[in-house]
Structure 1
Amino acid sequence: MKQEENRSIFEPISYKISTKANWNTVAFEYHYNWADQKIGPFKSTEEVVKTANIQDDDKVLDIACGTGVVSKEISQLLGPNGLLIGIDLSRTALNIAKKTIASNQFNAIEMDVENLGLKFKFDKVTCQYGLMFFPDCRKVIGTVRELLDDKGMLVVAVHGLADDVPYFSTIMKPILEYIPDIRPKGSPTVHRFGNPDDLEKELAGAGFSDIKITRHDYSYEPGTFEEYWNDYMNSTANSIRSKIESRGKDVIDMIKNSAEKNALKYTRDNNITFPWTVFIASCSNKT
């Protein structure tokens, strides 16, 4: 209880600095072991692009584009009159995107999505697995709407709730149990829009219409528990790993033992198969 009372308050600027540093560290592994392989939740990439209904002359903005997996798919659908801009905080991620996307239409810009310095109208805006992490989400969505053409479309993908995406919660629940002050109070979480009603409310609140949200159920096989644990700690939990390790071996062992028990329900023949729910929302800028 005392740890909860001593939790620091979420501070957006520090959060962004930390996020940028973390993504510069994990971008390579994230891309080549996850996103580019189109495994688990990244099977949604093609669905996001399909939902966006890209035309060859579209002007497209891909926000929080990361290493460019969505941008890559979009670039292959654009003709010489099309334009694609991908923005992200992580320079390392953007460098990977520039190396892997062979298209004259693609432009990568290192930029804070909450402070978009763009003076241009787009036909489509896409965002895969970024929306839930923006501190001022309503500001981002409002700015995106201003950047969209009168009949423009926004398409976003988000992860489901904790019980529907146990890859995250199997380890994170024990972390929060033993180290409840691991993150500042009010920090954005991966499950922020895991309830589609919350996602719809956020989009409608920014003035979007024709909101459609579809559920997609995938699966991900991280291997044995030990392989899953190592992958999680070196990628997903990288930004908080030093805080976990600072609590000492006994706390780490308790977290790990609890996580292994949580993983048993998804384990067969010593290998884990996690279900993974994704929601894809599309909405219109029609007035």
Structure 2
Amino acid sequence: MKPVFDPTQYKITSKANWNTVAHEYHYNWADQQVGPFKSTAEVVRLAKIKPDDKVLDVACGTGVVSKEISQFLGPQGLLVGIDLSRTALSIAKKSISFQNSNFVEMDAENIGFSFKFDKATCQYGLMFFPDSVKVLESIRNILNHNGMLAVAVHGLAEDVPYFSTIMKPILEHIPDIRPEGTPTVHRFGNPDSLRAELASGGFSDITVTKYDFVYKPGTFDEYWTDYMRSTANSIRSKIEGHGDAVMEKIKNDARNNASRYEKDDSIVFPWTVLVATGINQ
């Protein structure tokens, strides 16, 4: 029997994990705009930022979307980023020179501001919120009438093999690795599911655009090391706790899964991203 999902403990664990991996996530992935982070420019483009807009970047992380947004804002514009990770927020503050910007440690399920925003963005955060509808409703509450939300999420497991190549054998060999009901990276990878979620949060005029990117993690061993150190960091100790034999089985199965994406000993992963926009009417 799997352990019961505890949303509060999940947030505590997520916060601790992001404080640990934020630097590597930023400097090796997000800031380099490799693979899925080619979507950053698309999220901001679809948000149609105007110079005097007041913009909220939800789950802003290390600030890559915020930095892109700041390029479109003028002296009358405002940029606010919120996130649970202090380490990620510190990186965001250092990387953005826009004067009218502020970064705040805040839970996206309980957004609280005394003024309204014109636009809101959220890249690779929506699928990880325990109560995503509550987050969407919180965003709507601080958006002006006809304000716009733009969100990016990863595609389905078969369309984002970077995650599933290793996670599938982890789940096969350690089925109780995470509590039943834990949010997953592919949660809104189906366009219809993403569209329905924004509608449940009260948004209208919803559009979903699909992008197909490519990510090259190097050799299998390089990919394995990066994945275990970053993506699987929060569960790595649990995996290692099952012993070397189980770890070796997971690695061998993952190597076999990765072989279909190898070209000249280097892996080339396809990576589907969905970007949705919705209006607060």
TM-score by length of 1: 0.97
Q: Distance in 1 between matches of 2:99 and 2:188?
A: 34
For residue 154 of structure 2, what is the aligned residue in structure 1? 159
1:74-85 to 2 correspondences below 5 Å: 74-85=69-80
Please say if 1:72 is aligned against 2:85: no
Q: What amino acid sits opposite 1:153 in the alignment?
A: M
Alpha-carbon RMSD across the aligned residues, in angstroms, is 0.5
* Contact 2:108/2:138 (8 A) holds in 1: no
Q: How far, CA to CA, are the matches of 2:50 and 2:263 in structure 1? A: 44
Do residues 58 (structure 1) and 58 (structure 2) align? no
Q: Does 2:93 correspond to 1:98?
A: yes
Question: Which one of the candidate residues 236, 239, 247 is aligned to 1:244?
Answer: 239
Query: Residue 41 of structure 2 corresponds to which residue in structure 1?
Result: 46
Tell me how far apart the structure 2 counterparts of residues 196 and 18 of structure 1 sit (CA, whole Å).
Answer: 29
How many pairs were matched up? 281
Which residue does 2:209 correspond to in 1?
A: 214
User: Percent identity over the alignment?
Assistant: 68
Determine which of 92, 105, 111 is the counterpart of 1:110. 105
Q: Secondary structure at the match of 1:275?
A: strand
Q: Which residue of 1 aligns with 2:132?
A: 137
Render the CA deviation track for 1:211-244: whole Å, top value 9, x for unaligned. Answer: 0000000000000000000000000000000000
Partners of 2:117 and 2:143 within 8 A in 1: yes
How big is the shift at 1:117? 2.0
Out of 183, 188, 202, which is 2:183 matched to?
Answer: 188
Asked whether 1:168 is paired with 2:163, we answer yes
Aligned to 1:258: 253
Cα displacement (A) at 1:41? 0.1
Tell me what 2:193 maps to.
198
Whether contact under 8 Å (2:84, 2:106) holds in the other structure is: yes
| Secondary structure in structure 2 of the residue aligned to 1:103 | coil
Q: Which of 2, 6, 9 does residue 4 from structure 2 map onto?
A: 9
Q: Which residue type is aligned with residue 230 of structure 2?
A: S
Q: 1:114·1:140 contact (CA, 8 Å) conserved in 2?
A: yes
Cα distance in 2 for partners of 1:236, 1:205 equals: 29
TM-score (norm 2): 0.99
Residues 57 and 80, structure 2, Cα contact 8 Å, conserved in 1: yes
What is the distance in 2 between the residues matched to 1:173 and 1:85? 37
The answer to whether structure 1 residue 267 and structure 2 residue 262 are counterparts is yes
Determine if contact 1:159/1:193 at 8 Å carries over to the other structure.
Answer: yes
Which runs of no fewer than 5 residues in structure 1 stay unpaired?
none
The alpha carbon displacement at 1:20 in A equals: 0.3
Q: Where does structure 2 lack aligned partners over 5 or more consecutive residues?
A: none
Question: Is residue 29 from structure 1 mapped to residue 21 from structure 2 by the alignment?
Answer: no
Q: Secondary structure at the match of 1:20?
A: helix
Determine if contact 1:78/1:105 at 8 Å carries over to the other structure. no
**Cα distance, 1:144 vs structure 2:** 0.7
| Secondary structure, counterpart of 1:37 in structure 2 | coil
Contact 2:18-2:85 within 8 A present in 1 as well = yes
